[in-house]
A and B are shown apart, each in its own frame.
Chain A
Amino acid sequence: EAQVTQNPRYLITVTGKKLTVTCSQNMNHEYMSWYRQDPGLGLRQIYYSMNVEVTDKGDVPEGYKVSRKEKRNFPLILESPSPNQTSLYFCASSYRGSYGYTFGSGTRLTVV
């Protein structure tokens, strides 16, 4: 089944403890993206990747890092999480960029 898989689905962590949210797609898509979703603010892009080793900042990149060493994986790294990063995170992939994203099921992150 064609899909975008994120792990974990739920995560509670403490301020300052580094964490990684994994994202993997099995559709051989070149484009991958991370979004966060907050009430009243909709979905906002964090980082974007056009291909292996090619990444770029989105609208809200502060406090996040990404890497794209393989085509199928696009992990989101929070080096020192803070409570304002408590949110619902979505990974998405596409063969044609923003013209056709498939989204994962989301990761609910709580930073205390």
Chain B
Amino acid sequence: GENVGLHLPTLSVQEGDNSIINCAYSNSASDYFIWYKQESGKGPQFIIDIRSNMDKRQGQRVTVLLNKTVKHLSLQIAATQPGDSAVYFCAETGSARQLTFGSGTQLTVLP
């Protein structure tokens, strides 16, 4: 796929299991964090976001956890489905101008 790279972390999970994708962010001044999903041949698609004044936010089948002490972000996907196979990026920002992306994690859902 277009996002396969030598340094792209990978995660394989069985269909129906829960997935946890981790991300370490760099800027302690960042106040807003986003998870994007990118399927092969498509642009990044917004999944869920969280502000720095929160440590957990839930959406439909997805949960984002934020640990500001260690600058760590995670995305949990419940009951992972084949359609969840994609590259997942975390992104951070502290201003309207600059959005900084992580390098991404390739999630593969096994039948």
Query: B96: which of A50, A92, A102 is its contact (CB, 8 Å)?
Result: A50
A39-B4, A42-B103, A42-B104 known; A97+B97 contact, CB < 8 A:
yes
Asked if B43 is at the interface of the complex by the 8 Å CB criterion, the answer is yes
> Which one of A12-20, A69-77, A103-111 contacts B?
A103-111
A27 → chain B closest CB, angstroms? 13
What class of interface size applies to chain A in its complex with B? 20 to 34
Query: B103: which of A41, A58, A101 is its contact (CB, 8 Å)?
Result: A41
Contact (Cβ within 8 A) A45 B42:
no
Main secondary structure of the interface of B (DSSP, over half): loop
Contact (Cβ within 8 A) B95 A40:
no
**Which chain A residues lie closer than 8 Å to B101 at the CB level?**
42-44
Cβ < 8 Å to A, chain B residues 34-74: 41-46, 49
Asked if B8 is at the interface of the complex by the 8 Å CB criterion, the answer is yes
Cβ < 8 Å to A, chain B residues 7-57: 7-8, 32, 41-46, 49
Q: How many residue pairs at the A-B interface have CB separations less than 8 Å?
A: 75
Q: How far is the CA of A56 from the CA of B89 in the complex (A)?
A: 24
Q: How far is the CA of A31 from the CA of B104 in the complex (A)?
A: 24
Which residues of B are at the interface with A, using a C-beta cutoff of 8 A? 2-8, 32, 41-46, 49, 89, 91, 93, 95-99, 101-104
By Cβ-Cβ distance, the 9 closest A-B pairs, closest first, are A97-B96, A39-B5, A103-B43, A98-B99, A40-B5, A98-B93, A43-B101, A40-B7, A42-B101
19 pairs, A vs B, C-beta closer than 8 Å: A4-B43, A31-B96, A38-B5, A39-B7, A40-B103, A41-B5, A41-B103, A43-B44, A44-B101, A90-B44, A98-B99, A99-B32, A99-B49, A100-B46, A101-B44, A101-B46, A102-B46, A105-B41, A105-B43
Which residues of A are at the interface with B, using a C-beta cutoff of 8 A? 4, 31, 33, 37-45, 48, 50, 56, 58, 88, 90, 92, 96-106, 108
